[in-house]
């Protein structure tokens, strides 16, 4: 296989590019932040001057960027390239944007592979991500060897947008788990329970979730707050899920409540802060912090 392209060297993108290079894959990169490219150039990656140049050099181009608007712009620029035939969107854009981008690319002979991922930066580094792929069986077969470098492939439907639907539902449930776990764990500590014991009991019982199994031990009890995903990005994903619920004619009150929590966190803590800091909303209200005694 010739070189593959990759655009977007943020926390997730950088980890995924590292996986490709570890696997011996030739790669051509572009990012608007030149500094993010330097470590990969040192490892032998080819650096392009634009998204269009990546499309000139690679038949398959991966995209990992923060917003739907950027995805649409970058995909259009890549499609100007002479070589590109498949663009794999690893971002979270929502079904409507994914479908619109696919329609725009089709007349140019370029297929959009809808492939959002879940598992965080740690999963990207380890190659244990869940990849939710909305694409034809032919495209999935052709791309599977590359996709499996990143983790487990879940074909969720034959069309772009279906991966995005699965992803926004996944992130809604993740956002809800973290929000409710924050309130429950803070209540427990306010009542005098030990934070480490609280998390251990939850993880041994029916209250466990992705928040208690992962975020609390790694980022919250330790006070590091370094999961690598911003509050504003989680709020974006929850809003995308609400939009899709509306498009389906659904009223999801729990989803609306989760959105309210994340909107408040964005206002009070800041959209650019790590999303695990959402727990500080509950902590400030209770006047306690939920940290391991080993950290203090």
- The CATH number of whichever domain residue 37 belongs to comes to 3.40.50.720
- Which CATH number fits the domain that encloses residue 274? 1.10.1040.10
Same domain membership, residue 134 and residue 16: yes
Which residues 6+ apart lie within 8 Å of 31 measured at CB?
A: 7, 8, 9, 13, 37
- For the stretch 188-246, pLDDT in tens is 999 999 999 999 999 999 999 999 999 999 999 999 999 999 999 999 999 999 999 99
The pLDDT confidence band at residue 296, using thresholds 50, 70 and 90, is low
- The residue from 126, 167, 190, 236 that is catalytic is 167
Where a domain ends, among 140, 158, 176? 158
Q: Which two tokens stand for residue 118?
A: 């879940």
236: annotated active-site residue: no
Q: Which one of 158, 177, 195 terminates a domain? A: 158
Question: Could you tell me whether strands 111-114 and 86-89 are parallel, antiparallel, or unpaired per DSSP bridges?
Answer: parallel
Question: Both ends of the chain: CA-CA distance in Å?
Answer: 52
Output the six-digit token pair for 163.
């991966």
Q: Tell me which residue range forms the domain holding 154.
A: 4-158
Answer with the one of 109, 139, 158 that is the final residue of a domain: 158
What domain count does the chain have?
2
Model confidence band, residue 288 (pLDDT cutoffs 50, 70, 90): very high
Pick from 188, 222, 223: nearest CA to 202: 188
């Amino acid at each position: 296989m010739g070189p593959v392209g990759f655009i977007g060297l943020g926390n997730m993108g950088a980890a995924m590019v590292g996986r490709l290079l570890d696997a011996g894959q030739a790669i051509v990169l572009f990012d608007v932040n030149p500094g993010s490219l330097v470590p990969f150039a040192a490892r032998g990656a080819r650096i392009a001057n634009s998204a269009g140049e990546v499309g000139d050099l690679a038949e398959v181009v991966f995209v990992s960027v923060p917003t739907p608007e950027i995805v649409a712009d970058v995909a259009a620029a890549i499609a100007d390239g002479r070589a590109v035939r498949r663009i794999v969107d690893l971002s979270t854009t929502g079904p409507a944007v994914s479908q619109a981008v696919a329609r725009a690319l089709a007349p140019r002979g370029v297929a959009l592979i809808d492939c959002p991922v879940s598992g965080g930066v740690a999963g990207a580094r380890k190659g244990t991500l869940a990849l939710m792929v909305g694409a034809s069986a032919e495209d999935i077969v052709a791309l599977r060897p590359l996709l499996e470098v990143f983790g487990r492939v879940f074909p969720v439907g034959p069309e772009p947008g279906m991966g995005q639907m699965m992803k926004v539902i996944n992130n809604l449930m993740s956002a809800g788990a973290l929000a409710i776990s924050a309130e429950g764990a803070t209540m427990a500590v306010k009542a005098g329970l030990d934070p480490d014991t609280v998390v251990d009991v939850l993880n041994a019982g029916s209250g466990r979730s992705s928040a208690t199994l992962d975020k609390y031990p790694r980022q919250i009890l330790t006070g590091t707050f370094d999961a690598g995903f911003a509050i504003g990005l989680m709020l974006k994903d929850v809003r995308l899920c609400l939009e899709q619920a509306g498009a389906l004619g659904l009223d999801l009150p729990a989803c609306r409540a989760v959105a309210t929590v994340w909107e408040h966190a964005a206002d009070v803590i800041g959209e650019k802060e790590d999303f695990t800091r959402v727990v500080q909303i509950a902590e400030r209200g209770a006047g306690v912090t939920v940290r391991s005694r080993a950290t203090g």
